[in-house]
Structure 1
């Protein structure tokens, strides 16, 4: 090789540190994929699992819900803890907890043990999400590279929940239900083998110890609120669920008042004084609300109205999953090209258009409209969620990245719960008002016997409820679009970390 060729090769060869950063990112997205998959991987496994473990109706609900409850309740605390004890340390510790819990869940001899294992998985998952995203700021100091890396992280996070049911369905064709948990183990082994070598350690020496009363108030407030929202969505308004929700709100009010008085708060309320951070949290909450409502209602539509088996219904979600993945990868570039304010406005509006396109769905067809509408909405969701993650990391000081990410991820979880509660309840209300139906369309079809008139009426009524809910979701998204236009003037919002 001549000297000129050697010099040219040296210029084009990525520096060792840069290669290590991208290898580190590849390692970081592994636990993110697992955490997001495990939110939805049980959807198809539950019927088989129910035959083996014979859980009660209440236990079935807890098997599905306890993971998300613990995940939402601990994200802020674990993000702060990672800032103090080291993000790589807490990532690896959380992965160990997640792995042990996965094995316990796979071989659970009873419903109670499975619920406990899923709770432990939620604890481990709550350490993995904020620490993995916050570590990206250490791996990629360059703003443009960081934006691209966050796009990859978001693509895996968003894609995981979409492919969870599909992977669950494929595993169940060959193995017993515990395989949906054991698939976590080889992925975590890769993390343990490479993580200590390619992931940098980062902790803030300027942060004081965690305020334990704030931790208790945070968890004690978030968990009851999420519980109440989820159960009201599933069972309707009940006195006990409503009271639990009120207790949670009261504890959160006390929590916020305490944060204002502390020199080292668990939740730094000053973050909400930053326009871009507030817009990001609002966009993540409304985006997840609409996505949760759309995903839940269209899943029911495909199975109970269109008559598709579960795995086939899950496969119809693949186009949206692919689009979300692709546009999440390019979301940072869209923000750099258009400016984050304009990118938020256009992507939120695109999500709204996708939801409105579901008006093409009918009781006797329209699956093409579902695919088209979900793909259009997926474009918007991919860009929105990447921008949210990027702003959460980039708009705050490095020593507070973990706590900021904890807030943004909590907003995703709360948005998911709110979407199921509000839009699910609206659809259920309109469905039940359409005739003498059961609590759900599945129950109505099951008890209908050979009455095609009742089945057709139930399907028509469900579609009416779905149309009302997705229209309401579109209105919420458009309202958030207007808020972005008002609250984030372009001269304040154009220069961001993605540029």
Structure 2
């Protein structure tokens, strides 16, 4: 009788494990829903901005805020919400964040003016900050086996990168047939599916001993970042005056205070001591600067294709497909590539390929350049894909195991802040060049084309000058980072992994 029972027990055990694995992979698909939306919404407006500008007529400053307030909200609150999820429950925070993200999307879709759209984009960013760290933590609970967990995290990273890459394409396709609000309404069915399936397939996750969230640190980082960028953008758009200078100084002071405060906290939001490690520093900068370059180039190129060259939005979206495909493929193949050539070679190649790709945009002009845009996205896409794939792994490997969580959180934050900074800083630089090159023009290209079509050629030339200036700055920055990586990163892969501290 015992012999007949044992095979049955074994069969039930295998069936139970199979069901558990099936549940885990379905759970992963559910988790990827909000992850994909958070990353896609960081870029979906790049091709939509000309249409939004026609409908809401935002100023140059408002247009930049519409684009980058989302990224700033996500980046400045990401670590804070990671700590809140550890304390109060990550699945609970994930559900609340998804619901708020849906509400923000609906509000943005029907915003009657630029100010309202900025407010709802900020709400979406706040919700997005709750989703990323909680999603990764819940995913880790689904896959206790380290090998399966590594595969799942790789799929997670690829989905995040793919969202960034195809965001402009999705926006362009929607705008070809529907009003501009459709780029936000597309989020609602995905959020509905997630809210329906998450309670069934996912479990609550909490972490013990995480300490309380330091509210003053959250306020200092978020307010300091916003004031500093406000000052930079207003100075670029309107010239130096008391208000932007005062805002910039106040923002810098608050950020300095934030850094000093972290050093005295038992549970800081950001462990700045990690930056003493050169490998870690290179990894974090590689998370920030390529995202800044990608977002700035995508935003400015989207305007160039539509407003300067006059291409339909769907045509512009299709031109972005080759670069998006290369970026996504590189995210998938980079782990195998790193096994062959090493992280040092991969990180160096990342920066030089991005620099080369950006430089190709210098061939664009008032009457042409669509082909050069495609070539640029393909070449730079190699570097972007490498960056998305190896940054978090390199940052975590550069620190002792007990500090891996803090390193991973900083790596994710660098991606989001980079995405927002690229649009804010390079968009402001391009706006400044536009204003200086065409002093008799309206503040933006869209306004000039609408108000004074007789000066359209001058306005387009001024915009291309701004685009080229931003591209030169970003390209030189990546060349410098490539050289720095060559000098700082050790040749031995073993040197990239420190010994755990006692």
Q: TM-score, normalised by structure 1?
A: 0.83
1:101 has 2:104 as partner: yes
Match of 1:408 in 2: 411
Match of 1:490 in 2: 491
Measured after TM superposition, the shift of residue 280 of structure 1 is: 1.7
Measured after TM superposition, the shift of residue 89 of structure 1 is: 2.7
Out of 335, 340, 344, which is 1:341 matched to? Answer: 344
Q: Which runs of 5+ in 1 are unaligned?
A: 1-6
Alignment of 1:37-48 (within 5 A): 37-42=40-45
Alignment of 1:316-335 (within 5 A): 316-335=319-338
Measured after TM superposition, the shift of residue 435 of structure 1 is: 5.5
Alignment of 1:378-393 (within 5 A): 378-392=381-395
SS of equivalent to 1:330: helix
Match of 1:361 in 2: 364
Aligned-partner Cα distance in 2 for 1:47–1:436: 22
Aligned-partner Cα distance in 2 for 1:72–1:417: 8
Q: CA 1:218–1:435 in structure 2 vs 1: closer, same or farther (change >3 Å)?
A: closer
1:171-208 CA-to-partner distances (Å, cap 9, x unmatched) read: 34544544433322221222223323444543321221
SS of equivalent to 2:184: helix
Measured after TM superposition, the shift of residue 399 of structure 1 is: 7.6
1:441-473 CA-to-partner distances (Å, cap 9, x unmatched) read: 44455555456xx71x55445444433432221
Aligned-partner Cα distance in 1 for 2:385–2:363: 23
Aligned-partner Cα distance in 1 for 2:155–2:258: 34
Aligned-partner Cα distance in 1 for 2:167–2:384: 18
**How many residues get paired?**
485
Q: Which moved more, 1:300-309 or 1:44-53?
A: 44-53
The CA RMSD over aligned residues, in Å, is: 3.6
Measured after TM superposition, the shift of residue 295 of structure 1 is: 1.5
1:194 has 2:210 as partner: no
Answer whether contact 2:50 2:446 (CA < 8 A) is retained: no
Aligned-partner Cα distance in 2 for 1:242–1:353: 35
Out of 208, 213, 228, which is 1:205 matched to? Answer: 208
Measured after TM superposition, the shift of residue 377 of structure 1 is: 0.3
Aligned-partner Cα distance in 1 for 2:30–2:446: 41
1:343-371 CA-to-partner distances (Å, cap 9, x unmatched) read: 11112211111112223323332322221
Out of 153, 157, 167, which is 1:154 matched to? Answer: 157
Out of 166, 171, 180, which is 2:169 matched to? Answer: 166
Out of 227, 230, 239, which is 2:230 matched to? Answer: 227
Aligned-partner Cα distance in 1 for 2:465–2:118: 36
Answer whether contact 2:344 2:485 (CA < 8 A) is retained: yes
Answer whether contact 1:276 1:493 (CA < 8 A) is retained: no
Q: Which moved more, 1:262-271 or 1:128-137?
A: 128-137
Measured after TM superposition, the shift of residue 126 of structure 1 is: 0.8
Measured after TM superposition, the shift of residue 237 of structure 1 is: 4.4
Aligned-partner Cα distance in 2 for 1:471–1:115: 30
Aligned-partner Cα distance in 2 for 1:205–1:222: 30
Answer whether contact 1:30 1:188 (CA < 8 A) is retained: yes
Q: Which moved more, 1:375-384 or 1:199-208?
A: 199-208
Q: Which moved more, 1:151-160 or 1:53-62?
A: 53-62
Answer whether contact 1:74 1:123 (CA < 8 A) is retained: yes
Aligned-partner Cα distance in 1 for 2:453–2:179: 32
Match of 2:481 in 1: 480
Answer whether contact 1:36 1:157 (CA < 8 A) is retained: yes
Match of 1:247 in 2: 250
Q: Which runs of 5+ in 2 are unaligned?
A: 1-9
Measured after TM superposition, the shift of residue 114 of structure 1 is: 4.6
Q: CA 1:273–1:87 in structure 2 vs 1: closer, same or farther (change >3 Å)?
A: farther
SS of equivalent to 1:365: coil
Match of 1:131 in 2: 134
Measured after TM superposition, the shift of residue 58 of structure 1 is: 7.0
Q: CA 1:475–1:122 in structure 2 vs 1: closer, same or farther (change >3 Å)?
A: same
Answer whether contact 2:306 2:312 (CA < 8 A) is retained: yes
Q: TM-score, normalised by structure 2?
A: 0.83
